[in-house]
């Protein structure tokens, strides 16, 4: 029974820890991506300087817009050619007939507003086209929500199982010590005094159950991180470095373990202390 309840805590915390790492990493991706979620507004090549000014003003006046940056096509080309490094010289002749548009780089106040802002700008005069990382973004939000919901349901289910098993383990100890408790009450022990050892037992079971998950997840994540950072990482999917993640996770797991243990113990002691 003791083994069963400790392993229930272990399994529960393994899942909690794994999901926590997943969610923290997804949030991290989202943060990184957020900087990338800018709308590029390609200005019609026919537009006069005054049209461009008007367009710039119109965009800035949208309430959901945080920042607007103007990149004239010459500057865009410079950046492009510089970015080519060694091969830059092959592109030098583009300067004779610059194929690029002037561009407004627009940042929405909230990432979620990006789509709506892009649509509004698209309807304005002198706009050739708008572009933003639409799909990646929508998928990411959907994935985050999905992981959160599944994780939450799974964790809640396991949490109650663990609490229940701990409560049962402690009930056995209580039954074994029933006579002792009865005598304690007869000689005037307070409920708090009687509860104390069971409180400690629950706490120990919970904390004991958190040790293995912490070791496994720490080791596992370290290995995983080393593997992916050794290989070339995907362009914007960088993972959180272990140091920043593992302390949080370990702390959370110990606390959740302790709470579950104490909760289970209080649950089973409560019934026995009613006179």
Partner 1 sequence: MIQMHDVWKMYPNGVSAVNGISIHIKQGEFVYIVGASGAGKSTFIKMIYREEQPTQGDIMVGNWNLATMKESQIPLLRRSIGVVFQDFKLLPSMTVFENIAFAMEVLEAGKSTIRRSVMDVLDIVRLKNKARFLPHELSGGEQQRVSIARAIVNNPSVVICDEPTGNLDPETSWEIMHLLEEINDRGTTILMATHNKDIVNTMRKRVIAIDNGRISRDDVRGGYRYES
Q: Give the binding site for partner 1 (CB under 8 A).
A: 179-180, 182-191, 193, 275
DSSP 211-259: HHHHHHHHHHHHHHHHHHHHSPPPSS-PPPPHHHHHHHHHHHHHHHHHH
Question: Dihedral (C-alpha) 95, 97, 100, 104: value to the nearest 10 degrees?
Answer: 80
C-beta of 205: minimal distance to partner 1 in Å?
23
Q: Which is nearer to partner 1, 61 or 275 (CB)?
A: 275
Q: Which is nearer to partner 1, 190 or 244 (by Cβ)?
A: 190
Q: How far is the CB of 246 from partner 1 (least distance, A)?
A: 41
Which contiguous run of DSSP H or E holds residue 95? none
Instruction: Return the number of the residue (95 or 178) whose C-beta is nearest partner 1.
Output: 178
Angle at CA 257, nearest 5°, toward 254 and 259? 110
Smallest distance, Å, CB 200 to partner 1? 16
Closest CA to 154 of 60, 6, 7, 14: 14
Residue 73 vs 185, nearer CB to partner 1: 185
């Amino acid at each position: 029974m003791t083994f069963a309840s400790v392993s229930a805590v272990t399994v529960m915390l393994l899942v909690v820890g794994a999901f926590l790492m997943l969610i923290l990493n997804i949030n991290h991706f989202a943060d990184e991506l957020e900087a990338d979620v800018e709308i590029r507004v390609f200005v019609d090549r026919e537009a006069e300087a005054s049209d461009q000014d008007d367009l710039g003003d119109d965009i800035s006046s949208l309430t959901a817009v945080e920042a607007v940056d103007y990149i004239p096509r010459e500057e865009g080309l410079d950046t492009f050619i510089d970015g080519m490094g060694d091969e830059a010289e092959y592109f030098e002749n583009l300067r004779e007939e610059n194929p690029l548009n002037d561009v407004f780089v627009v940042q929405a106040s909230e990432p979620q507003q990006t789509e709506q802002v892009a649509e509004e700008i698209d309807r304005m005069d002198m706009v050739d086209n708008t572009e933003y990382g639409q799909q990646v973004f929508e998928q990411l939000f959907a994935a985050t929500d999905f992981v959160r919901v599944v994780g939450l349901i799974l964790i809640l289910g396991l949490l109650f199982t663990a609490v229940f098993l701990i409560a049962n383990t402690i009930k056995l100890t209580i039954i074994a010590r029933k006579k002792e408790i009865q005598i304690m009450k007869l000689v005037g022990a307070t409920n708090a005094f009687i509860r104390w050892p069971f409180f400690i037992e629950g706490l120990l079971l919970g904390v004991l159950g958190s040790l293995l998950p912490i070791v496994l997840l720490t080791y596992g994540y370290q290995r995983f991180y080393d593997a992916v950072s050794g290989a070339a990482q995907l362009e914007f999917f960088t993972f959180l470095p272990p140091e920043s993640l593992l302390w949080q996770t370990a702390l959370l797991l110990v606390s959740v373990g302790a709470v579950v243990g104490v909760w289970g113990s209080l649950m089973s002691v409560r019934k026995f202390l009613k006179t």
